[in-house]
Amino acid sequence: MRLISRKKYRGNNNNRGQIVLILVLVLVVGLTVGLSLLSRSVTDIRMSSQIEQSGRAFSAAEAGIENALQGATVGTTTGNINMTGGTAQYRYQVQSFGGGSPGNVTVFPNIVDPGKSITLWLSPHNSSGALDESGSGSYPTNYTMVVCWGKETGTTPAMVASLYYIENPGPTQEYKVAFGAFDPDATRRSSNGFLTADSTGSYCASDYRFRRILAASSDITNNPLTYIFGIPANSRLLLLRVQPVYESTFTAFRSLSTGTTDFPSQGKIISSVGQTSTGIQRKIQVTQGFYTLPALFDYSLFTSN
């Protein structure tokens, strides 16, 4: 009887050990699941906070852009914006776009699609943003310039150029336009009637594969590759509009003359950075050009009576 009783006692100890082990395993599993859920919650809260802070920083950067577009001058400006849940700071910088020393490359930052145009101003604008047609500071008719395109590999866009000018400036002046079209693709030229384009590459600071040298009235450099629009020498240049054909492209311009006059300012480049109190930053950059002709003018027919 004692032996039987001793066996029963040993059996109860084994059952108790198994129960303790099961309880430990359950606690470990529960703790692991709890820590995982807690970590997930902390991560979700952190992500939500970062998204909120990012939105505030972006809103602050937009506020800087809006302030700069209202007529900010060249330079750097800082300010604060109050929002729900806190404040944020913006810092925007305004730089002149185009102009500068002769020979500088004027790069248009956005790609241009077929059917769209960009404008290179050849006469300056006054402080109110209106085109100054007086001739003061306008690009001379005896200066040569170059238009460069085809920065994107694997593409072969053509280019149409329209030169707007004033003939016989004065009481009897007339507004006129001269055209030129250039294509680096010889196969297409046989059917579209475009003129050839230089295609040996490395143009306008070595970034563009195609170019065409342009002159308004005459080419003082006597370059055989220069396209001369043939307008009167006493004309007053206003603007040059270029339009890619067949494919999209980036475009740049450069003055090839050795004089002291380069292209006038083409507008402003505004860079705005928004920052929250936690250090999160967002940046926006826009290009503010001058008012230009609607794209419809590129498809208009000009007639004379």
As a whole number of angstroms, the distance between CA 145 and CA 82 comes to 48
Statement: residue 168 has pLDDT above 70 = yes
Contact yes or no for 150/157 (Cβ under 8 A): yes
Statement: residue 6 has pLDDT above 60 = no
Q: In terms of residues, how long is the chain? A: 305
**3-state secondary structure (DSSP) of residue 284:** strand
Residues 119-137 have a mean pLDDT of: 88
| pLDDT, tens digit (0-9, with 9 covering 90-100), for 191-243 | 999 999 998 878 887 789 999 999 998 877 777 889 999 999 899 999 999 99
DSSP 136: T
Residues 36-57 have a mean pLDDT of: 76
| pLDDT, tens digit (0-9, with 9 covering 90-100), for 75-125 | 888 888 887 767 788 888 888 887 766 677 888 888 999 988 999 999 998
Taking the domains of the chain in order of start, what are their residue ranges?
99-265
Contact yes or no for 264/137 (Cβ under 8 A): yes
- pTM of the prediction? 0.75
Contact yes or no for 260/143 (Cβ under 8 A): no
As a whole number of angstroms, the distance between CA 182 and CA 161 comes to 8
